[in-house]
Structure 1
Amino acid sequence: MQHPLQGLTQHQGRGSKLKKLAYHLSLVCALGLSTGSTVYASIADHHEFEATLHVPFRADAALRAGNESRYFTMEFDFPLLQKEQSVTWRLELVAPDGKVVDRWYGVEKLLKQTVTAKVLWAGRRFGSASMVDGIYQVRLTATANDTTKLSALAAGASTPEKIVESVLLKGKEEIITQSWPMLVGTKAAPVMPAFSALPTKAKAAQVTATSATNTTNTTRSVSATTRQFAAAPNSLPYTVYFGNLHSQTNHSDGGGALSSCTGAQNPQSAALGPTDAYQYALNRGLDFLMTSEHNHMYDGSDSTNASASPTTAKNLFQSGLAAATSFNSSHPNFLGIYGLEWGVISNGGHMNIFNTTELLEWEYNSSNQLIGDTYTAKSDYAALYTLMRSRGWIGQFNHPSSSGQFNAGGVDLGYTADGDQAMVLCEVLNTSAFSTNTTETETSRSSYEGACNKALEAGYHVAFSTDQDNHCANWGASYTNRTGVLLPNGSALNSANFIAALKARRVFATMDKNSQLVLTANGHVMGERFSNSGSLNLVTNFASSTGRTAATVAVYEGVPGRNGTVSLLSSTASTTITPSVGEHFYYAKITQDDGNILWSAPVWVTQTTGSGDTTAPTVSASETGTSGTITLAATATDNVGVSKVEFYVDGTLKGSATSSPYSLALNSATLSNGSHALVAKAYDAANNVGTSSSVSFSVSNATADTTAPTVSASESGSSGTITLSATATDNVGVTKVEFYVDGTLKGSSTSSPYSMTLASSTLSNATHSLTAKAYDAANNIGTSSAVSFTVNNTTSTQLILNGGFESGGTSWTATSGVVSSDTTQASHAGTYKAWMNGYGAAHTDSIYQQVTIPSASTSATLSFWLKVVSDETTTTQAYDTLQVQVRNSSNTVLATLATYSNLNKGSTYLNKTFDLSAYKGQTIRIYFLGVEGSVTATSFLVDDVSLIAQ
């Protein structure tokens, strides 16, 4: 029986009571079904209910006609679903004051295909004309339940809206909430501080905000005065890099070609790998890309491959690390990151590990060998956090859910001290993992701010990130969202500096790649943890290089370890409060005038009593060395304690130290030859700053080597193990040679003669291109001319099915009783064989199997084992016979390969082989025909039949 809301929409108007609408459709829910079934690689990784909501921030001019009407689009999906579910949803329009002014209900049937539902909001009509201008929220609440159980969940509900509310209340499945802003009418832009955008990789964008009048917010003693804000901290010594920290390639279930990609790929089946991903992202303007491969797919399977080779799995992982290193060395303005996406959705949740050099695994092959480097128990997050902390690895919560994921100590998103050290980021937003969009206009996007807030309230010190989880070959191109990472000015974009920035939580999430958001608190930059006494000034610094402005500002406050709810603290860009004594965190959120959202990293504040420490530390600086690795050092003291020391060379921050002795190692090659000035700044917990006198020092780097090596490549062999070789020379010295086949890195050699071996079976039978790259110590690169070579692997195909008869008569056609496990006569191997005749009476037995020999075969060999047992005593007369024949599919005899008789009797099985290459390209029957006379028994026993085509 179909429920009254199945596929329909129930509407509650502004200011009205819920009605028994008799299925009133004044606003129709339009159902859309995707064409074709989506293919997914793994139930464990992709089997979860998904609900997304798209809300146009501004009304479409064609629909608006002065009343602000627009469509809201919901998408529901449940990959790999085998039993029909009913999606029960409620959609609400929430006014700026928090009151619900419109509400819709619906139930959609869901099985295997994505369901799209649209709601047309009529705008300022039907009693809503008095709606105030402002930013509204459209909020979706949805859950999926077994359709057969829906009636029980809706028991007692008499109206459509009550059915939905009953299911949302009683259902035990996860409830997904999505909320997006919507502008109705016009709204005055908030007053923003003048903020000169931080420099980016390309150039520093300059954005100036004009002053306006602030409103006063009295909530929790929040105050703001009407003023032109002071210039934002132009002294912030950071450069912003934008990229994507979540994607897959053919090292796991990604890398699908855009022309055919409809979902996750079968592990290691796609064409495109890490190097392809890095090049694509670089071409699309990203500064960094992480390929985060599912840790349990290195065995080539989305389950457990019992025959997997641990060496092969570990080598694949190491080749990914090498691919990133190689690409980065050739592209110094881009950072390719290779790491793991650990865990599975259906039993805990996905998380990225950014800097592991070990393949973490929980699966074993049939020889009880771990298919990886290091064992990590599946879904044991607490143990994983401990391992990560001990190794210095850091991670990110991927598309987190508020319930059912990241369980530690029996608590979902449960806090551990090790986890707090290891986890640095939380994905606040993701685009569709299987999008093929390349125009940055993907509308299927999900927000996870609620789950990230739960992690913050649990005590995790995580910053917000936003990624695309690309499984198809559109790395970073589906939408304009990016994760922004702040590196100290002058620092190289390399792995060490990048990981240090993530550990410092100097990160913000943006849906607009051209916008920046930096929160400061009493001069501290987002990501910092510090003690404070007295007032605290939180400043939301926003800039857009394309002229976008802020439509709303929101500053949120929470308490780490409270496990409560994050609350809105302020709606102004500059907020001054005096926090209560204890622990707090604060983060800022900007909604732009086009509806795109940015999230800052939090600051964590320990509020203390009293007037506080007002004495600045004293500090002196020194430097040793003139070339190679030089050392910047400082001696610092304070009446309470020094919290950190920063080192500036020629006014540019080069790094910091948080414990004595305070020092920093620096590559002199990052400085020009000549005299430089070193200044150290020492901080205490109260943020008092002491500055050292300037210290002059000189750098004298050796003249740079700018000559690239010369290199030529060669290849030998066409099958089996082939050899890739190179001859390379350099004016100083060659440090390594890399070998690329068809543009993919296959390995490297660090000493002459430069060569490596490669299994030809890893390449297709075709012509391939080999190039070699030679490197010197100065990272100059020489590339060889391309060398063509051909691979011709011989492949063997077994055409006979169930040749040992161990599956009984499966795949064979035989007369009664021929396939036998009777122990009177033993099989050649196993339990079963084909036993023809042996009755001591006139009898005919036969058994055959029909096969097709490929026309491209170079050989085809029939083999079987035969034993003849006979009571006949004659040595001259063949009374009983077995003919081995080749017949066509019409059963016409094409050839009789051999005839055996009672004269061939013996006590053992003998192997018989025949060349069938004359029948390539034909469909034939391998036919055994036994004919027995009328007096004495002869048995013909046939076993382990094989037909190998090569």
Structure 2
Amino acid sequence: MAGGNAGCGSVPRSGAREILRGDFRMNFPSLRRALTALLMLTALPLQAREPVEHDELEASLAVPYQADNAGGRELVIELLFPGGSAVAVAWQLQIVDAQGRLQREWTGSAAAGDRRSRLALRWDDTDAAGLPLQAGIYTARLATLEGTPEQLQQGLAAVEVESALANPVRLPQLQQWDFVVGPLPLAAMPSFEPMPLAGSTSWLRAASDGPPYAIHFGNLHSQTNHSDGGGDLSTCNNAETPQAGAFGPAAAFAYADAHGLDFLMASEHNHMYDGRANGVSASATPQFANNLYADGLAQAAAYSAAHADFLALYGMEWGVTTDGGHLNVIGAEGLYNWEYNSSNQLIGSFYTPKSDYAALYSFMRGQQALGQFNHPDTSGQFLVASTALGYSSDGDEVMVLTEVLNSSAFSVNTTESETSRSSFEGAWKRLLERGFHTAPASNQDNHCANWGAAYSNRTGVLVPAGQPLTPQSFRTALLARRVFATMDKTAQLLFSSGERIMGMRFANSSALTLRVDYASSSGHLPSQVQIYEGVPGRNGTVTLAASTATPTLNPAPGEHFYYAKITQDDGKSLWSAPLWVTQLDPADAIFRDGFF
């Protein structure tokens, strides 16, 4: 990052400011101090300009789960703005305890550019008064604001009154991770015979007394040279010029297959089939775009046919990040687009109006396509009726997945050890509260030629044991939301209520018994188990319902959803698909414990 600078400061010893309402609110006075320092960096080439694709800040936070031998840990913030010109970033890092009480805070400022910058802070696990924190589980929370220094300074007051959408400053981007102070707690778990892994011999067994499913691990978010991916690892640092990357879909499938994945989706940006990342090429032709998309489908089908143990998928990443939001369209037979050339010809097979998500969902439903929300933001994206992450019944039918974690889109790591990772669990919670029935996904958004190898995270899809992984069986599993997300490809998670497993919707008229099962083939242990509860359509807040693996709950009559989260002894997490429960009032129930 050319000209980058960062400042750190601690909370005054007189006391820490309490967290305000909701998941996280920023301490604006401390951010203003950071911005004042940033405004002094007059040499930085921070210019206001029109936003283009990939004008999006990648801000990640890495927190060691346990303290090191010296009794402390290094907190690392990584910033990347791949759009080109540098942007100003004000950041705030807070440590809160299990009750949400603020223990420590730092603020700073930096300039983020198209080379990843690393801001490291050594911390000795003490609070604002310099006293050692008591043993327990804590949360580190990072908030960042981006824009020019002047925009940020002018926009902070608007953010405070929640009207920043009318300002050029972006709303806060939030990241948070749990960690342990003191002795490592271990969660009590029921005995669990692991499900077999597809293509593996380490966990294969007779499944007579266990779940009749096999797990298929893969990555549902990547690009090749059909859009702005496929960059050679020796030179890749950013998005490639569309169609200029070194490697195409067949190379991506072969790479992922060789690195142990069971499936990979090449999800090409739908508006780049004209050879441009931004704007429209006047000379682009529908024939070229449609032929390229058809070629991608053909490459996927050919690779799958030649490799029975691997499912190659080809589709599109639809939308733009500014005034839009990216989502993957799975199972589309033709290219969806909104761009026209100078001859008023659509550069694609089907017209879908830009950033009109209600219309897109309706069209996808008619086409029997499925969708995944990609790296969703809680504000300004996926607008329906002017509401971010807005609900529609068509959207609920077609959107089956939401990314809860991505590794860096421009990573060149090939040892599954990428340190820059982003969490979107907060946006997933909001989508569930809106009423969407989506399962969690954990992908890599690879733009460089390291498909699936950047990090150890995977999306796990459950297919009946003994059934081959085909486009049909994969689609059936996604529709059933038989999916979990993991940061560790050697771990698995199953969430159930009796014989009902994650992804199901059912009615219940008595006490609700839940069960979380976990297994690791690499010797890891569960440090924390959490079961979260919410209400579809309430648009409220998801809350922690239980911190044990086998709780019995007594839900109020009405609609509920529950999902499980496991945090391992190394800090890596797993998320289950929800169970959606209609709790009946026993006095009014006509039927009991029925499936629907």
Instruction: Please report the TM-score for the alignment, with normalisation by the length of structure 1.
Output: 0.56
Give the C-alpha shift of residue 456 in structure 1.
Answer: 0.5
Matching residue of 2:250: 275
Q: Give SS of 1:46's match.
A: coil
* 1:587 is the counterpart of 2:563: yes
CA deviations on 1:836-869 (whole Å, 9 max, x unpaired) are xxxxxxxxxxxxxxxxxxxxxxxxxxxxxxxxxx
Q: Give SS of 1:12's match.
A: coil
Aligned to 1:343, which of 309, 315, 319?
A: 319
Q: Is this contact kept in 2: 1:88–1:167, CA < 8 A?
A: no
User: 260-269 or 70-79: which moved more?
Assistant: 70-79
Q: Is this contact kept in 2: 1:352–1:396, CA < 8 A?
A: yes
Counterpart residue identity of residue 48, structure 1:
E
Q: Give SS of 1:377's match.
A: coil
Matching residue of 1:16: 15
User: How far apart, in 2, do the equivalents of 1:358 and 1:152 lie?
Assistant: 44
Q: Is this contact kept in 2: 1:153–1:167, CA < 8 A?
A: no
Q: Give SS of 1:437's match.
A: coil
Counterpart residue identity of residue 97, structure 2:
A
Matching residue of 1:242: 217
Matching residue of 1:318: 294
Q: Is this contact kept in 2: 1:534–1:612, CA < 8 A?
A: no
Q: Is this contact kept in 1: 2:286–2:345, CA < 8 A?
A: yes
User: How far apart, in 2, do the equivalents of 1:99 and 1:273 lie?
Assistant: 49
Matching residue of 1:100: 102
User: How far apart, in 1, do the equivalents of 2:273 and 2:160 lie?
Assistant: 44
User: How far apart, in 1, do the equivalents of 2:449 and 2:181 lie?
Assistant: 38
Give the C-alpha shift of residue 118 in structure 1.
Answer: 1.6
Aligned to 1:47, which of 55, 58, 66?
A: 55
Matching residue of 1:185: 182
Matching residue of 1:120: 122
Give the C-alpha shift of residue 367 in structure 1.
Answer: 1.6
Matching residue of 1:252: 227
User: How far apart, in 1, do the equivalents of 2:161 and 2:385 lie?
Assistant: 30
Matching residue of 1:495: 471
Give the C-alpha shift of residue 136 in structure 1.
Answer: 1.3
* 1:60 is the counterpart of 2:59: no
Give the C-alpha shift of residue 205 in structure 1.
Answer: 5.2
Give the C-alpha shift of residue 461 in structure 1.
Answer: 0.2
Aligned to 2:500, which of 520, 524, 528?
A: 524
Counterpart residue identity of residue 592, structure 1:
Q
Q: Is this contact kept in 1: 2:563–2:575, CA < 8 A?
A: yes
Counterpart residue identity of residue 121, structure 2:
V
Q: How does 1:464-863 map to 2 (within 5 A)?
A: 464-610=440-586, 686=594
User: How far apart, in 2, do the equivalents of 1:499 and 1:366 lie?
Assistant: 38
Q: Is this contact kept in 2: 1:13–1:101, CA < 8 A?
A: no
User: How far apart, in 1, do the equivalents of 2:449 and 2:112 lie?
Assistant: 28
Q: Is this contact kept in 1: 2:227–2:268, CA < 8 A?
A: yes
User: How far apart, in 2, do the equivalents of 1:539 and 1:14 lie?
Assistant: 44
Matching residue of 2:41: none
User: How far apart, in 1, do the equivalents of 2:324 and 2:283 lie?
Assistant: 26
Q: Give SS of 1:385's match.
A: helix
Matching residue of 1:793: none
Q: CA RMSD in A?
A: 3.0
Q: Is this contact kept in 1: 2:146–2:170, CA < 8 A?
A: yes
Matching residue of 2:23: none
Q: Is this contact kept in 2: 1:554–1:572, CA < 8 A?
A: yes
Relative contact order (C-alpha < 8 Å, sep 6+): which is higher? Answer: 2
Q: Give SS of 1:280's match.
A: helix
Distance 1:153 1:280, change over 3 A: closer
Matching residue of 1:264: 239
Counterpart residue identity of residue 118, structure 1:
A
Matching residue of 1:646: none
Give the C-alpha shift of residue 350 in structure 1.
Answer: 0.5
CA deviations on 1:354-396 (whole Å, 9 max, x unpaired) are 1011111111122211111111111111111001111111000
Q: Is this contact kept in 2: 1:195–1:234, CA < 8 A?
A: no
Q: Give SS of 2:381's match.
A: coil
Give the C-alpha shift of residue 13 in structure 1.
Answer: 6.5
CA deviations on 1:24-71 (whole Å, 9 max, x unpaired) are xxxxx9xxxxxxx9xxxx95420122311111112233xx2xxx2111
Q: Give SS of 2:563's match.
A: strand
Q: Is this contact kept in 2: 1:197–1:205, CA < 8 A?
A: no
* 1:392 is the counterpart of 2:368: yes
Distance 1:9 1:167, change over 3 A: farther
- Structure whose residues are more often helix by fraction: 2
Matching residue of 1:69: 72
User: How far apart, in 2, do the equivalents of 1:104 and 1:329 lie?
Assistant: 54
- Structure whose residues are more often strand by fraction: 1
Matching residue of 1:789: none
Counterpart residue identity of residue 531, structure 1:
A
Larger-gyration structure (1/2) = 1
Give the C-alpha shift of residue 79 in structure 1.
Answer: 2.8
Counterpart residue identity of residue 378, structure 1:
K
Q: Is this contact kept in 2: 1:534–1:611, CA < 8 A?
A: no
User: How far apart, in 2, do the equivalents of 1:97 and 1:409 lie?
Assistant: 35
Give the C-alpha shift of residue 308 in structure 1.
Answer: 1.5
Distance 1:542 1:260, change over 3 A: same
Aligned to 2:149, which of 147, 150, 153?
A: 147
Matching residue of 1:290: 265
Q: Is this contact kept in 1: 2:318–2:328, CA < 8 A?
A: yes
Give the C-alpha shift of residue 310 in structure 1.
Answer: 1.1
- Structure 2: give runs of 5+ residues left out of the alignment: 18-29, 31-36, 38-44
Q: Is this contact kept in 1: 2:216–2:263, CA < 8 A?
A: yes
CA deviations on 1:157-198 (whole Å, 9 max, x unpaired) are xxxxxxxx9899988521011111212111331110111110
Q: How does 1:873-888 map to 2 (within 5 A)?
A: none
Matching residue of 1:132: 134
Distance 1:367 1:91, change over 3 A: same
Distance 1:70 1:360, change over 3 A: same
Counterpart residue identity of residue 446, structure 2:
N
User: How far apart, in 2, do the equivalents of 1:438 and 1:136 lie?
Assistant: 31
Give the C-alpha shift of residue 523 in structure 1.
Answer: 2.1
Distance 1:363 1:577, change over 3 A: same
User: How far apart, in 1, do the equivalents of 2:124 and 2:208 lie?
Assistant: 45
Distance 1:438 1:111, change over 3 A: closer
Distance 1:151 1:325, change over 3 A: closer
User: How far apart, in 2, do the equivalents of 1:283 and 1:148 lie?
Assistant: 49
User: How far apart, in 2, do the equivalents of 1:166 and 1:295 lie?
Assistant: 36
User: How far apart, in 2, do the equivalents of 1:278 and 1:149 lie?
Assistant: 43
Aligned residues, how many? 561
User: How far apart, in 2, do the equivalents of 1:577 and 1:528 lie?
Assistant: 18
Counterpart residue identity of residue 10, structure 2:
H
Q: Is this contact kept in 1: 2:502–2:576, CA < 8 A?
A: yes
Distance 1:480 1:541, change over 3 A: same
Give the C-alpha shift of residue 127 in structure 1.
Answer: 5.2
Give the C-alpha shift of residue 135 in structure 1.
Answer: 1.8
Distance 1:154 1:392, change over 3 A: closer
User: How far apart, in 1, do the equivalents of 2:554 and 2:215 lie?
Assistant: 31
Q: Is this contact kept in 1: 2:11–2:128, CA < 8 A?
A: no
Matching residue of 1:827: none
| Percent identity of paired positions between Structure 1 and Structure 2 | 47
Instruction: Please report the TM-score for the alignment, with normalisation by the length of structure 2.
Output: 0.88
Distance 1:151 1:287, change over 3 A: closer
User: How far apart, in 2, do the equivalents of 1:573 and 1:173 lie?
Assistant: 39
User: How far apart, in 1, do the equivalents of 2:235 and 2:425 lie?
Assistant: 32
Distance 1:150 1:330, change over 3 A: closer
Q: Give SS of 1:9's match.
A: coil
Give the C-alpha shift of residue 490 in structure 1.
Answer: 1.6
User: How far apart, in 2, do the equivalents of 1:53 and 1:317 lie?
Assistant: 36
User: How far apart, in 2, do the equivalents of 1:54 and 1:113 lie?
Assistant: 18
Matching residue of 2:40: none
